[in-house]
Amino acid sequence: MNSVGFGVIGAVVKGSLLTFALFLIYGTVPFFGAFAGIFVPFPCIYYTLKHGRVSGYAIVLLMILLLAFLNQNSLLPYLVLAGVCSLALPELLARGMGSTRVLFITVALNTSLVACLAAVAVVLFSVNLDEQLGRIIQEALTQVGETYRQSGLSGKELQSLDEGLKLLERSFVLLYPSFAVILFGVVAGLNLLLLKRVSASLGKNIHFVNFSDYRNADALVWLLIIAGFTLLVDIPVLTRVTLNILFLLYFLYFIQGLAICSWFAKRKNFPRVLQIVFYVVFAVQPLLTAIVAVIGLADLWAGFRSRKINENL
C-alpha cells in the first residue's frame, strides 16, 4: 500500500467529494437518486485500490464527520448502504480473492452489521422493527402512488395501482430481511461490475469472474427443498424465516438464470444494447423473473452451458 503523499491527499479529496455528491443525489432526487445511491461506495473502492487503504479509511471518516455535522439522520443510512462495502470490498480484492467470494463476504459482513444494529435497537431501545419499517415502507409507497396518480390514470388503473401497492407493502413488511440482503448484494455486485470496467486504470491484477460463468453451489438445492417442506409446519415465526430464505434462493437462481442468458447472448453475438434491454425487462417483469429463476434452477440438471465452469470463486 502507498504511503501518505500528494497522490493520496488528492485521492481523499476527490473521493470524498464524489461520494458526497452521489449520496446527496441519492437523498434528494426521487427515483433516479436510487441509482446514484448504489454507487456511493465506488469512489472509496476505486481510490483504495489505486492509492492504498489509508485513502479509503480517510474518505469514509470524512464522510462520517461531514454527515454528523450536516445531517446526523443521514449517518446511519450511509453506514448501512455504503460503509461496509466501501472498506471491505477493496480490502478483500487487494488480498487476491476472486470477485464472487469478495461479493458474498462483503454481503455477509454488511448483513452482520445491520443484524447487530437491529438487535441493539430491539433489546436496548425496545424498537418495534416491523412497526417502524412498515411506516417507512408505507410512506415510500404512498409517494410512489401519488406520482402515478398525477400522471392521469383512469379509475380502474388507479384501483389496480392501489391493490398492487398494498400487496407490495405487505410483501416488504414480511420479507424486509431478505430484501435488505438482496440490496447489499446488488450494491456490491454493481460496484464490482463498474470496477471491472475501469480496472485497467488501477494497474493491479484483480481476478474478476465473468458474469456469464456464475453458478450457484449444487448443494443449495437441498436448502430449497428443506425450506419448501418447512412451509408445511404451521409456526408463524418459522414460516416467516422460511419465506425469507426462499425469497433469497429465488433471487440467487434468478441471477444464475440471467448468467445463462448472458452466456447464450455472447455465444450468439447479440448486440450489447439489445442485451441491456433484455436484462431490464427480465428484472421488472415478475413472470419473466420466475421463468429466468426456473432456468437457473434447471441448470443444475440440464447444464445449459456446455463448457466446464469453475466454482464461482
Give the pTM.
Answer: 0.88
Q: Which residues, other chains included, contact 247 with Cβ-Cβ below 8 Å and sequence gap of 6+? A: 175, 178, 179, 182
Q: Which of 8-12, 142-146, 219-223, 299-303 has the lowest mean pLDDT?
A: 142-146
d(CA 267, CA 252): 23
From the list 259, 275, 272, 269, the residue with the least C-alpha distance to 212 is 259
% residues pLDDT > 90 (the chain): 55
% residues pLDDT > 70 (the chain): 90
Rg (Cα) of the chain, in Å, rounded? 21
The grid cell for 85 is 462495502
C-alpha torsion sign, points 75, 76, 82, 84 = positive
If one counts every other C-beta atom within 10 angstroms of the C-beta of residue 91, the result is 18
How many residues are recorded in the chain? 313
From the list 262, 248, 258, the residue with the least C-alpha distance to 293 is 258
The mean pLDDT of 148-154, rounded to a whole number, is 65
Q: Residue 227 is which amino acid? A: A
Domains and CATH numbers, the chain: 1-125+176-208 (1.10.1760.20), 210-313 (no CATH)
Contact by Cβ (8 Å): 291, 258: no
pLDDT in tens, 265-275: 888 888 878 77
The mean pLDDT of 148-164, rounded to a whole number, is 68
Q: Which of 30-39, 57-66, 131-140 has the lowest mean pLDDT?
A: 131-140
The grid cell for 98 is 476472486
Q: Residue 154 is which amino acid? A: S
How many helices (H) and strands (E) the chain has is answered by 13, 0
SS3 for 210? coil
- Report how far apart, in Å, the C-alpha atoms of 286 and of each of 10, 90, 102 are: 45, 34, 29
- Residue in this structure with the C-alpha cell 470463486, named with its chain if needed: 313
Mean of per-residue pLDDT scores for the chain: 87
